[in-house]
Structure 1
């Protein structure tokens, strides 16, 4: 069954004491016997550990550098402006640039809590049945693996602390050195394997089970396999951390991890999950509903929120308020993030340019949706779509005439002759213009506006639909007034993980069996494309030059992953594990799909334009391994050598 957890903000104080002779028992503090001696106590002990799991969700503040609070940001309504999607270029907005996600993540306090449980819980085994005891032990190993995953994907090899350290021990004992990256990923594998073997197939809401552990194993082992295979192309061989095996693994280890990923996927598939189809036959609405239905057959593990909780605490978030235009669909500052054309064009969509190079003429702006892949329509709102009783109206401007090729518009450049003089008319919110005695509104109700900046300005021709709650009244769409859950693991991702790992192992047909399932549910025109084993080093987005060549069908699987998981905070981590971030995000200038009315024809055209601030996103090779926090190195010199390029 699907598992969800409710994050807890206010917790009872928890104290675990070593053997000390105290004359008085402190009042109101739960000790080890009260916590570990019964299931309710263990649940309370695990609550804070679940609450701080490294899950990049609605509240994740991707550029909160130096504060170690990206998972728990202070001014957290602004997450919409500083989300990981905005940081990494998955969304377009005007607020943030690539920042390598660095914020000194170092959760060894939580790992210590888990080790305390693993080490001391056996003393209370007589209080439990064998099944319950094994399940709780497995759950602790799952939690520990999750935290180590948050470390490994940032730093590579880290200290593997498996027992509770005595703070009074000698310095040499306490200054634990880093393990190799291979050993770190293998430790995650071992913890999760233990969890799968010991956990039940079902569990109460808010807790993991064997299938949740298998889903985490699927994800982590795909990461490990990719890192092992592709890190050799980074040129870090001369770096001390790489030579020591702390930043990178031998490529010969890749298939070991890819096979672990496939095996974990088989475990998940044996569980009670299926691709979500409850909303059929409307495949667009079905895909959107997948992320809002708390009883979805596809969700394996979800993180829940609760709008009934008091105050503006972190049981609430602000996603709707920051993804919907104001005032029609939001009563707050309005939308902050938009899908670029670079991602929209990965889906099946209608041609906007004719074979002769001229723009396709549309009778209505909303006709862009007519041949759009249902999954794209379930992921994004386009002109003509409805939300909260209002219809999206998105237009950049007006051409008096457009009698040239689409390329002649030079991606929106003011220097293009067709855009010169008063032939192209741009305007602000509500501005009008008269052409041959007819008055026209220049821009759409929801953008694009020349007189506004980043807030509430439709920079392209689409808004984000995924995770947006249409049932919420516009008057209630404000900061801290959303409580839809975040899907941590779902079957669609597991299929994609298995497909990629299988392809890397050479099992191409089996890999595309999973891709076909995904594409049929998506409503794609071609459910199972032909396998193309031609090799290329040219990526799809930004036409990036990869440092290695891959078969075009593997690139298709990567693109399918982007299509299916768009807006779910996988993109940044996928670029990092594929070792392509510094190329894909190399002066990456978002392209925006802009709609214009051609006045002398009474028709609409869509043009491919560079974002009009000409902003670029760039990631350097430093992004692949974040620096071990210098404050930790100051306490433990055995954490050296530092990661490459730092």
Structure 2
């Protein structure tokens, strides 16, 4: 029996429009002919599907329960999504809030898949209403949307049921209880949908927030890199004895890795055919240029963005809180203040000045706190705010404390331990935002500065190091307006820089090392790095850069360099967690991962500043187990369909 999909549009109704004849068709209801039979109707139909795409952006709530809660926080009460961001969950930012392992909200968007399948199945009935080019493009767009939802599931669960047709809800269990497909087949299904989309979609790029051929290719680039990595590295997880692995639901045979890596490279070539270029509008200031990349809506680098608009109707759904939760109050925020901070573990991935003298191990002396920026990679300065930087008319003033004297090696400070002799006996002075201390010259000095690391204060608005996040922060917004739900920067879903990095990694995995580093060179030149093209190093290591993690496999050092380049370029863009998962290194990198922070002290008897490497003073550690690689198929779905068993490994 044919069923119409109905969408209800709410109108402001006045008395004169009240229904008086019950035989009339109800107003405000659009049926399939109205939606599928013309381009504007299709756009309305697709709008809700776009709204639900699994895009991990400003409002992504990493641990909120409920099928869609992670992607669509309640606009009336989830301003805390910034505290529970993916960057906080995965340890990319230092904070005091959530811990990693999995998203944990049982994402299972088959209602959205059904919406797309309804369109794919019934849209051919209206083909005569369209020019061939328009018809093909809309059908291709539907395949792109379906692939995006499957990507959101595949990277969480591995193999999931592939449903191509609209199911009759009155059919029997033999129809409705669809079994899981293998993980290989699931990724291939994503590939097939996106290949169809690329072949059929148009190249129009001026409709913000809507996909085209190049957006489909960008998703193909990202998803196939994931699939290739999962195929190559899952063998090292030790899941071979698990029932889901034996059935092919959790893991892909390593022999399939190159197939997916090649798909990634091919997709990148399609993107490069488009009108995109690395952003250079603010040259020659490469630090400002990198910061502006994330704010300039006309950026040549943007392939696909999720728009926000502070002026839009509909309450708070198209607004977010990024500025209010990334900037210190009251100088740069009028809300609770900063919640997330860059740790030293990520800062030192960039080119930056030495803080320790090589000859004797003593801390380097600086005349000013802001001298730490001298010689720092411009991309790092575009990603983070340091002492002396100005935001919304206020100057960052970041200090950890004061040493009366510091006449030992940096290591003698023992990562900030209070038991170290140099830190005891009143020689090291720390305090709060308002603490003043009188020194031997009978002058009172501020201990921490206005934005430093304060003692006896919690996670909100506490500096926790020597830097604040700059990426995506809007300096044009007045401090008085930096409030909850008052930010409207667009989230960049795909940009050319990521595609270059995807291609570089896939090419390297395929053995095309020189071609891989051609892309790395482009990224590093734009970044303002001193070393633009590192020397190829094919010696192997199994030690990761972050947390000196012991990988379960060896890889060439140049491949590790490419992985590090992703961390530098994509810091704070919600890629790192998924990179660790697809490389199968998360349980090692996040194995009691105890952030190190960069702390600045004024040395009183020298009138100089030093920077020390310290452990975070609340002894916070991040830990991920091997359970993180596959989330459990939602038990509520298994209760309705036991053909989803066996459950994923370790559950």
Q: Is the pair's TM-score, using the shorter chain for normalization, greater than 0.5?
A: yes
SS in 2 for 1:518: helix
Distance verdict in 2 for CA 1:431–1:631, change over 3 Å: same
Is 2:288 the partner of 1:285?
yes
Matched residue, 1:97: 99
**Cα displacement (A) at 1:64:** 1.4
Matched residue, 2:392: 388
Matched residue, 2:9: 12
Q: Distance in 2 between matches of 1:324 and 1:486?
A: 18
**Aligned counterpart for 1:416 among listed residues 410, 416, 420:** 420
Matched residue, 1:181: 183
Matched residue, 1:125: 127
**Aligned counterpart for 2:228 among listed residues 225, 229, 232:** 225
Q: Distance in 2 between matches of 1:206 and 1:106?
A: 23
**Cα displacement (A) at 1:67:** 5.7
Is 2:573 the partner of 1:571?
no
Matched residue, 1:197: 199
Is 2:363 the partner of 1:359?
yes
Task: Say if 2:94 and 2:343, in contact at 8 Å, map to a contact too.
Answer: yes
Matched residue, 1:207: 210
Q: Distance in 1 between matches of 2:325 and 2:209?
A: 27
Superposed CA deviations along residues 360-380 of structure 1, whole A, max 9, x for unmatched, are: 000000000011100000000
Is 2:377 the partner of 1:373?
yes
Task: Say if 2:101 and 2:627, in contact at 8 Å, map to a contact too.
Answer: no
Q: Distance in 2 between matches of 1:197 and 1:622?
A: 38
Matched residue, 2:496: 491
Task: Say if 2:35 and 2:41, in contact at 8 Å, map to a contact too.
Answer: yes
**Aligned counterpart for 1:112 among listed residues 114, 138, 143:** 114
Q: Distance in 1 between matches of 2:539 and 2:619?
A: 34
Superposed CA deviations along residues 3-38 of structure 1, whole A, max 9, x for unmatched, are: xxxxxxx97269xxxxxxx97633321100000000
Q: Distance in 1 between matches of 2:222 and 2:307?
A: 21
SS in 2 for 1:197: helix
SS in 2 for 1:428: coil
Task: Say if 1:11 and 1:48, in contact at 8 Å, map to a contact too.
Answer: no
Q: Distance in 1 between matches of 2:31 and 2:362?
A: 74
Matched residue, 2:467: 462
Q: Distance in 1 between matches of 2:392 and 2:24?
A: 60
Q: Distance in 1 between matches of 2:33 and 2:452?
A: 60
TM-score by length of 2: 0.96
Task: Say if 2:325 and 2:339, in contact at 8 Å, map to a contact too.
Answer: yes
**Cα displacement (A) at 1:65:** 3.8
**Cα displacement (A) at 1:309:** 2.1
**Aligned counterpart for 2:241 among listed residues 235, 238, 241:** 238
**Cα displacement (A) at 1:421:** 1.4
Q: Distance in 2 between matches of 1:580 and 1:23?
A: 64
Matched residue, 2:638: 633
Matched residue, 1:314: 317
Q: Distance in 1 between matches of 2:481 and 2:8?
A: 28
Q: Distance in 1 between matches of 2:600 and 2:9?
A: 55
Q: Distance in 2 between matches of 1:268 and 1:441?
A: 53
**Cα displacement (A) at 1:622:** 0.2
Superposed CA deviations along residues 198-224 of structure 1, whole A, max 9, x for unmatched, are: 001115333211000000000000000
Is 2:331 the partner of 1:328?
yes
Q: Distance in 2 between matches of 1:60 and 1:641?
A: 29
**Cα displacement (A) at 1:175:** 0.2
Matched residue, 1:76: 78
Task: Say if 1:582 and 1:619, in contact at 8 Å, map to a contact too.
Answer: yes
**Cα displacement (A) at 1:156:** 0.2
SS in 2 for 1:579: coil
Distance verdict in 2 for CA 1:485–1:510, change over 3 Å: same
Matched residue, 2:37: 37
SS in 2 for 1:594: strand
Matched residue, 1:7: none
Matched residue, 1:426: 430
> Which structure 1 segments of 5+ residues have no match?
1-9, 15-21
Q: Distance in 2 between matches of 1:376 and 1:545?
A: 27
TM-score by length of 1: 0.96
Q: Distance in 1 between matches of 2:65 and 2:233?
A: 27
Matched residue, 2:477: 472
**Cα displacement (A) at 1:99:** 3.7
Task: Say if 2:8 and 2:28, in contact at 8 Å, map to a contact too.
Answer: no
Q: Distance in 2 between matches of 1:68 and 1:412?
A: 42
Runs ≥4 in structure 1, deviation > 4 angstroms?
none
Distance verdict in 2 for CA 1:312–1:370, change over 3 Å: farther
SS in 2 for 1:296: coil
Distance verdict in 2 for CA 1:109–1:67, change over 3 Å: closer
Matched residue, 1:295: 298
**Aligned counterpart for 1:171 among listed residues 170, 173, 188:** 173
**Cα displacement (A) at 1:499:** 0.1
Q: Distance in 2 between matches of 1:13 and 1:389?
A: 44
Q: Distance in 1 between matches of 2:518 and 2:492?
A: 24
**Cα displacement (A) at 1:310:** 4.0
SS in 2 for 1:618: coil
Superposed CA deviations along residues 383-439 of structure 1, whole A, max 9, x for unmatched, are: 011100111000010000001100000000001010111000010111111110221
Q: Distance in 1 between matches of 2:160 and 2:24?
A: 41
Give me the CA root mean square deviation.
Answer: 1.3
**Cα displacement (A) at 1:66:** 5.0
Task: Say if 1:396 and 1:596, in contact at 8 Å, map to a contact too.
Answer: yes
Task: Say if 1:429 and 1:451, in contact at 8 Å, map to a contact too.
Answer: no
Q: Distance in 2 between matches of 1:507 and 1:586?
A: 32
Is 2:457 the partner of 1:452?
yes
**Cα displacement (A) at 1:447:** 1.6
**Aligned counterpart for 1:621 among listed residues 622, 626, 635:** 626
**Cα displacement (A) at 1:76:** 2.5
SS in 2 for 1:569: coil
Superposed CA deviations along residues 438-470 of structure 1, whole A, max 9, x for unmatched, are: 211101111211131100010000000000000
SS in 2 for 1:475: helix
